[in-house]
Amino acid sequence: MTRKRRRLVTIGVCGAVLAVALGLVLWAMRGTIVFFRSPSEVAQAVVAPGVRFRLGGLVQEGSVSRGPNETVSFTITDTAAAVPVRYRGLLPDLFREGQGVVTEGVLEPGGVFRADTVLAKHDETYMPREVADALKAQGRWQEGAKEAGKPGEAPQAAPRAASGTDTATR
């Protein structure tokens, strides 16, 4: 076997090993990949019932209703379309009407999104990046008077005063 042929065989074997490794990684991750969808995409039937995904938007004003056994129903909207959501569990403290929220779950055949996770914004300037991008794509994004940076980024923390004592280290 010549040196050139040996080099080609080595490169071919390494390429095959990498392809198999990549295939195994993708096969292992097939059940954990969750895509983000806006209410408009759900209304256009982009998502089939039973598929797990994240739904984000604004909690529609007047849509939150609490039922027995910690069951909460509300509607998520992107101002173009709305999707009813049903969730059983404790909601985050910052969950309220008119605020950004991202939920994770499955769409039921009746068109109701059954969420098993609800993530609320963490301060008054935060909007999940996916929600902000979806609103911008529809031309419905309005920059607020309080801007703390780009949508999806936490505002910068105020610098701490330099002092000789720090209560957190005591």
For 2-57, write each residue's pLDDT tens digit.
Answer: 999 999 999 999 999 999 999 999 888 877 777 888 888 888 877 788 888 899 88
Distance between CA atoms of 118 and 53, rounded to whole angstroms? 12
Specify whether the backbone of 169 is left (phi greater than 0), alpha (psi in -120 to 50) or beta: alpha
| pLDDT tens readout for residues 62-87 | 999 998 888 999 999 988 889 999 99
Has this prediction a pTM greater than 0.75?
no
Label the pairing between strands 52-59 and 35-37: parallel
Question: Which ranges in the chain belong to alpha helices (H)?
Answer: 3-29, 39-43, 129-137
Question: Would you put residue 70 in left (φ > 0), alpha (ψ -120 to 50) or beta?
Answer: left
**How are beta strands 35-37 and 113-120 bridged, if at all?**
unpaired
